[in-house]
Amino acid sequence: MNRAELDAIELMLRDLNTRHEEIRHRAAFRGCTRELISLQQELVKYLMTKKSSLSSR
């Protein structure tokens, strides 16, 4: 198991689950809020799968 990679995944998950008002405001201005949220959910799912895979090694 690569501890550094797991730590990086944890940090990225924390960041993805943090509310970034500036980015949300820009997405609303550009009309892509739904797409931003969808992409965020996809990334979280991918990272959780990768984390699970690394943890089971």
- The three-point CA angle 47-5-27 to 5° equals 40
- Confidence check: pLDDT of 2 > 70: yes
Asked if 50 contacts 8 with a C-beta cutoff of 8 angstroms, the reply is no
Alpha helices in 1-57 (DSSP H): 3-16, 21-30, 33-55
8-54 confidence digits (pLDDT tens): 999 999 999 999 999 999 999 999 999 999 999 999 999 999 999 99
pLDDT of residue 9: 97
* Token couple for 27: 């997405």
* Rg of the chain on CA atoms, in Å: 14
